[in-house]
Amino acid sequence: MSSNSITINGNELTFEPGETILEVARRHSIDIPTLCHLKNTTPTGSCRICVVEVKGARSLLASCATPASGNMVVLTESAKVVDARKQIIQLLLSSGNHNCAVRGGSSDNWTQFQLNVQKDDQSQELCPVWGDCRLQDLAYRYQVNGDAFAPTPTRYAIETVNPFIVRDFSRCIQCGRCVQACNEIQVNNAINFGYRGPESKIVAAGDRPLKDSECVFCGECVQVCPVGALVEKDVRYQVRPWETAPVKTTCSYCGVGCQLYLHVKDNRVVKVTGVDAPPNNGSLCVKGRFGFNFIHSEDRLTTPLIKENGAFRSASWDEALNLVANKLGEIKAAHGPDSIGVLTSARVTNEDNYVANKFTRAVLRTNNIDHCARL
Amino acid sequence: MTNTIADVEEADVILITGSNTTENHPVISTFVKRAVSFKGARLIVVDPRRVKIASFAHQYLRPNLGTDVAWINGMMHVIIQENLYDKKFVEDRTVGFDELKRVVEKYTPEYVEEITGIPAKSLKDAARMYAGAKSAAILYCMGITQHTTGTDNVKSLANLSMLCGNLGIPGGGVNPLRGQNNVQGACDMGGLPDVYSGYQKVIDAEARKKMETAWGVTGLPEKPGLKVTEMIPKAHSGELKALYIIGENPLVSDPDLNHAEKSIGNLDFLVVQDIFMTETAKTADVILPSKCFAEKDGTFSNTERRVQRVRKAVDPPGDIWDDWKITCEIATRMGFPMTYETSEAILQEIGQVTPSYAGITYDRIDSIGIHWPCPNEQHPGTPILHTEKFPIGKGVFFGIEFIPPAEKVDADYPLYLTTGRVIYQYHTGTMTMKTDGLNDRAPECFVEISPKDARQFDLANGSAVTVASRRGQIEAKIQISEKAVEGTVFIPFHFARAAANRLTNAALDPVSKIPEYKVCAVRLAKAA
């Protein structure tokens, strides 16, 4: 063995200096579950789901925060590791309103529990992220439920006063991914841990609602939340993940060109998430994540319109296009091509713009074409 | 951008000027903030408003509005005088250094302080910081370009970057941040009066011949056409008779709106193609409804020249068409048949006539976009421009003198006005104002004013004021803010009901014909 090799589950692997056990394992397709770990941010080791057994170490070590070192021998799914993970998941499940199938419990227990949650939630539904929850996935994987410990009461009420984002502290598992996302990825520095011990809570601006803080509603925290603590306001209880299909496209606002998924349900865009690829690597801004109601606005133009006596009336495509072609033809004939101008658009596609350029030059026979780059 | 967005995190020093980055390019601002917070980069912000990104800066310089050439010349003065410039780069890759040196000679930090208000010591510190970097990136936006000296401002930034050898290297460059999703692409595709796609000039006989062959026509016009800011006056004077406007709303976004309204009202025929009944569409003779981005297949080119896919996610509401299809149908009815089966077929034609896009296909950009120039299908694209040489061979230094803005404050109009956007709205608001949450965050127009100016004019926070310039007036609420600096107010231009562009000056940059949105003189009075 050499000084840059590590043995994970019996496989001898090489590592780069500074790599964590988790990074080496993932690079070699060895799955270690994580909750609090967030790519490109400082590991916090706070959830301890990623613990592994390292030969010679006195306790289990958080693989996300432990650098690989020479001749280390690691087990990622030993009985000790699995027991520890089970207990962590059981504790997390008992710590809030995790009302899905993995909550477990006898029917009496469940009924009372669900009634309590319904009161907090003001809804009769199961958890809003049912089916899209990292904690739920882990509970299935390790076959545990929330019965092992007595449920803890809800300490902080749901925050629904913000636009765009609902904060449900009862479902927060304090993994801190939102804090990392806000402070180390978006660097908006709007939220952090507040209070201590059992009182601990993610707070903004000295424990005020997001809308009264430095928060700019980029929604990075919602995207990284592994549970149902941070959910898009319009999506909550309206959309379940299995009802939607994502379509990858490019944002239509500023020139950054963020890659995003439009999540489509019944021919409507119901939710937007960032794609983990350049240029934005998963990040979006408030407009890119939440500003797409215009797509399905009642105010969209749906038919060609012709103005007559100062008022618009609907027209068929044929009528409208013939009118435009005839008028442009007449004006060109009477006053010359340079009496016509075209403003193409920084909003439409390259293909649309190329065709506008060709039309202006080859058909109208003028170079009077521009767009709002100057404005 | 000469460099990529990700490249910003490679810079040792970042100089941001005329860009309210956190509000207008929030995702790019994250790269800057991370570089500064976690990677040891140093940040210089030069902006007349104390914008949020300034709170991350090691050096914040506050120039008077419209004095950019002066402070940039001042920095170069210090860099040359203290021998901090990149002699090898200047010698190997540029011409005109002597002229530059001669012109910037008189821009001593003390002289620059008189013009810009930037303390001489701060200017020296910033110049040393910029010049001392192994790689330094410049990011700029409309605060640089929307001036009567916009072209001079950009050339000056290029001078500064070349002087320190920051072009063609990772973490360097001169990087304009494009404000609209496909403003890069609209330029690339020949949506400009003097060039075809790929910036092939209409005055170039060879380029015309090439397009004539490709399009099956003869006699393409060789005279460059009118820029948008020239079309409006020509409409006013009656020389321009018809306008075909695709997806733009000049009756909120143009400068000196009162004049623009009269001009557009003077047209014989106006066609507007849009997704909404905009202020401009209301004045049209014919409105043609088009698809929005979520209903289209195609490509956008972002600010770093990356050509990326746009994909149809939903059906449009009703029988509405792609913009290109509408245009093709008009062409066909004018006796010039234009038909394409798909948007992909159009990109293929673009590739055939546009060298910088020749290697870009839908297949190649399916999972990740490619930076043009990309001359063939084996080419990986060009993330960083000018690594070996400039397109014209050597980079040219221009010695540029400071020219003050077109309008100055006086006794009648004692405050400067500058305009821009806020994070929660976009341009003329036709898209963002359909989302309640965004309107909740940014419901209406406001006048951002410094606490001191508010006291001087006796204006309470939230009170209504009339803002008047020599061209028009609007009413809006006072917002006292530490962002504003004494003597200058800021108004966002999104809101048609209190359109900042009723106030702005249509004075143009002589080359780019960009209006001076960023400087005019106004007065405030309590609203009746």
Tell me, yes or no, whether B495 and B360 share the same domain.
Answer: no
State the count of interchain CB pairs (< 8 A) between A and B: 472
pLDDT for position A340: 98
For B181, name the nearest residue in chain A, comparing CA atoms only: A255
Nearest chain A residue to B213 by CA: give it: A362
- For chain B, how many structural domains are there in total? 4
Within 456-495 of B, beta carbons closer than 8 Å to A belong to: none
State what percent of residues in chain B have pLDDT above 90.
99
Contact criterion met (CB < 8 Å) for A248 and B311: yes
- HSE, side-chain direction, 13 A CA sphere, residue B479: 17
Residues in chain B closer than 8 A to A247 (CB atoms): 311-313
pLDDT digits (tens, 9 = 90+) for B403-433: 999 999 999 999 999 999 999 999 999 999 9
Q: What is the pLDDT of residue A141?
A: 96
Please say which residue of B313, B345, B375 terminates a domain: B375
Q: How far is B105 from chain A (nearest CA, A)?
A: 32
pLDDT of B277: 97
Q: Where in chain A do CATH 3.10.20.740 domains reside?
A: 5-77
| pLDDT tens string B80-123 | 999 999 999 999 999 999 999 999 999 999 999 999 999 999 99
**Cβ-based contacts of B284 with chain A (< 8 Å):** 307
Of the candidate CATH numbers 1.10.150.20, 3.90.1580.10, 3.60.40.10, 3.10.20.740, the domain formed by A5-77 belongs to 3.10.20.740
Q: Are residues B483 and B364 in the same domain?
A: no
Rounded mean pLDDT of A150-164? Answer: 92
CA distance A68 to chain B (A): 23
Q: Which residues pair with A224 in a beta bridge?
A: none
pLDDT mean over B356-373:
98
B467 pLDDT band (50/70/90 cuts)?
very high
CB contact under 8 A, B221 and A164: no
pLDDT in tens, A281-326: 999 999 999 999 999 999 999 999 999 999 999 999 999 999 999 9
Instruction: Label residue B218 left, alpha or beta by phi (over 0 means left) and psi (-120 to 50 means alpha).
Output: beta
Interchain proximity A187–B193, CB inside 8 Å: no
Residue from the list B196, B231, B274 with its beta carbon closest to the beta carbon of A357: B196
Q: How close A161 comes to chain B (CA, Å)?
A: 11
State residue B229 phi and psi, 5-degree precision.
Answer: -75, -5
Strand (E) or helix (H) holding B520: strand B520-526
A101-232 to CATH, choices 3.40.50.1100, 3.30.70.20, 2.170.8.10, 3.40.50.300: 3.30.70.20
Report d(CA B460, CA B447) in Å as an integer.
Answer: 12
CA of A115 vs chain B CAs: smallest distance (Å): 31
Span A41-52, mean pLDDT?
Answer: 94
Q: What is the pLDDT of residue A150?
A: 86
Provide the CATH number for the domain around residue B235. 3.40.228.10
CB contact under 8 A, A351 and B299: yes
Question: What's the gap in Å between the CA of A245 and the closest CA on chain B?
Answer: 9
Please answer yes or no on whether B246 and A292 come within 8 Å at the CB atom. Answer: no
B318 in contact with A at a CB cutoff of 8 Å?
Answer: yes
**What is the per-residue pLDDT across A166-175, written as a single tens digit (0 to 9) for each?**
999 999 999 9
Give B 71-100 residues with CB within 8 A of chain A. Answer: none
Taking CB atoms and an 8 Å limit, are A301 and B276 in contact across chains? yes
Give Cα separations from B472 to A206, A248, A306, B523 (angstroms): 44, 45, 31, 11
Per-residue confidence (pLDDT) for residue B292, from 0 to 100: 97
Percent of chain A at pLDDT > 90 equals 85
Q: Which of residues 196-235 of B touch A (CB under 8 A)?
A: 196-197, 202, 211, 215, 217, 219-221, 223-229, 231, 234-235
Contacting residues of B for A280, CB less than 8 Å apart: 27
Which residues of chain B lie closer than 8 angstroms to A288, CB-CB? 27
How confident is the model at residue A103, as a pLDDT?
A: 79
Using CA coordinates, name the residue in chain B closest to A186: B30
Residue B472, both tokens: 């028009």
pLDDT of residue A1: 52
Question: Do the domain assignments include residue B158?
Answer: yes
- Looking at the complex, report in whole angstroms how far the Cα of residue A75 sits from the nearest Cα belonging to chain B: 33
Residues B261 and B209 in one domain: no
Complex ipTM: 0.96
Listed residues B313, B343, B375: the one ending a domain: B375
Q: Which of A147-151, B346-350, B370-374 has the lowest mean pLDDT?
A: A147-151
Q: Which residue has the tokens 């910033």?
A: B126
pLDDT score of B193 more than 90 = yes
Task: Say which CATH topology domain A244-296 has.
Answer: N-terminal domain of TfIIb (2.20.25)
Tell me how many helices (H) and strands (E) chain B has: 18, 19
Nearest Cα residue in chain B from A370 = B192
Task: Note whether B445 and B507 are same-domain residues.
Answer: yes
Q: Which residue of A has its CA nearest to B215?
A: A362
pLDDT tens-digit map of B235-282: 999 999 999 999 999 999 899 999 999 999 999 999 999 999 999 999
What domain range is B13 assigned to?
6-177
Q: Are residues B298 and A300, on separate chains, in Cβ contact within 8 Å?
A: no
Whether residue B339 lies inside any domain: the answer is yes
Q: What is the pLDDT of residue A2?
A: 65
Chain A residues touching B265 at Cβ < 8 A: none
**Residue range(s) of every CATH 2.20.25.90 domain in chain A:** 244-296
Candidate from A146-150, B75-79, B194-198, B243-247 with smallest mean pLDDT: A146-150
Quick one: B213 and B232 in the same domain? no
B66, B144: one domain: yes
Residue B426 sits in the same domain as residue B495: yes
Cα separation values, A36 from A47, A224, B357, Å: 6, 9, 43
The answer to whether position B390 is within a domain reads no
Distance from the Cα of B335 to chain A's closest Cα (Å) equals 8
Residue numbers of B between 9 and 28 with CB closer than 8 Å to A: 22, 24-28
Q: What sign has the CA pseudo-torsion A65, A68, A74, A76? A: positive
Do A185 and B184 lie within an 8 Å CB cutoff? no
Out of A256, A324, A361, whose CB is closest to B5? A256
What average pLDDT does the segment A221-248 reach? 95
Among B11, B29, B305, which residue's Cα sits nearest to residue B172? B11
